[in-house]
Structures are given as structure tokens and as C-alpha cells.
């Protein structure tokens, strides 16, 4: 049975004041998934505010009752294509619909920014993530031994 809480997720763009907590949430998820963290693969996390906002991208944080519990980013991939990245939910808050709320907000903002399509990738072995994105309308377009690439054409009616 899939029971969802009625979530009041407060979503905001990352700031100088919130960037360190956002980095901790993303890094905790990466360490949990991969067992270790190689900082050379995560240069965007060194200064989230300047890397994302400074390049016209978007990095969002989500909070419940003032506690940051998730992150999600939108990177400009092309004139009308955005890339979903850095989706992470702090472990104690998973399976409550929080990731879905963050993804829906990223999609809403992507439409507002003029994107017609969103793309993303995740590791092939991360079955929960692949299933999550497919359940939210993303279609697998490519797969190799390491990564699954998914995309979703955005409907501009749902602003």
C-alpha cells in the first residue's frame, strides 16, 4: 500500500546561508549510494550558489517545518532542454513523496524557463531511482552498463 503524507514542502533557491546544508544532503546520499565520495567528481558542490546561479542554472532546497530535507537542480542543457540533477532526499525523510514534490517543482520551473524537454541520468544499479523517474513520466532513451538516460517532454499546459 502506498500511503503519501500531505506534504507542505517549502521550496526555495539555495542561498549562501543554506548551501552547506544542501551540500551535506547531496553528499550523504552519494556516500550512501556509492560507499565513498570522490570530491573531484562533485566540483559543483564546492560552491553551489556560484556554480548554479552564476551560470543560469537552478538549485533548489526543500524544507519541512524549517528543516531542509531535500535538494534538486535544473541545469541548462540547451536552448529548450534542461537536465535534472542533484535530486536527493535526506534518508530519514524518504518514502513520503518528498522527491515527487521536488521533481514537480523542478518541472514547473523548467516550463516557466521555456524548456520543452528534461533529461537526466542515474546509475543502472539504482533501481529505485529508475523506477521513480519512470513512475513520474520519464522514458528510458539509452542504457549501458553504468547509466540509464531518461527524458520527459514537458506539457506547457500544466503551469
pLDDT above 70 covers a percentage of the chain that reads 90
Whether 12 shows a pLDDT value over 60: the answer reads yes
State residue 148's pLDDT score.
Answer: 96
Q: Model-level pTM?
A: 0.88
Cβ atoms of 56 and 77 within 8 Å: the answer is no
Q: What's the rounded Cα separation, in Å, for the pair 27 and 3?
A: 28
State residue 125's pLDDT score.
Answer: 85
State residue 3's pLDDT score.
Answer: 42
Cell of 110: 523548467
Cβ atoms of 59 and 16 within 8 Å: the answer is no
State residue 56's pLDDT score.
Answer: 83
Mean local confidence (pLDDT), 123-135? 91
Amino acid at each position: 500500500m502506498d500511503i503519501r503524507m500531505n506534504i507542505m514542502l517549502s521550496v526555495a533557491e539555495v542561498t549562501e546561508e543554506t548551501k552547506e546544508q544542501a551540500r551535506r544532503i547531496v553528499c550523504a546520499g552519494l556516500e550512501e549510494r556509492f560507499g565513498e565520495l570522490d570530491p573531484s567528481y562533485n566540483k559543483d558542490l564546492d560552491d553551489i550558489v556560484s556554480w548554479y546561479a552564476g551560470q543560469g542554472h537552478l538549485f533548489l532546497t526543500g524544507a519541512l517545518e524549517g528543516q531542509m530535507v531535500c535538494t534538486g537542480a535544473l541545469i541548462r542543457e540547451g536552448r529548450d532542454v534542461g537536465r535534472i540533477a542533484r535530486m536527493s532526499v535526506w534518508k530519514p525523510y524518504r518514502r513520503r513523496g518528498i522527491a515527487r514534490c521536488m521533481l514537480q517543482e523542478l518541472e514547473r520551473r523548467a516550463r516557466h524557463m521555456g524548456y520543452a524537454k528534461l533529461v537526466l541520468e542515474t546509475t543502472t544499479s539504482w533501481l529505485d531511482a529508475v523506477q521513480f523517474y519512470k513512475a513520474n513520466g520519464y522514458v528510458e532513451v539509452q542504457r549501458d552498463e553504468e547509466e540509464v538516460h531518461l527524458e520527459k517532454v514537458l506539457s506547457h499546459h500544466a503551469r
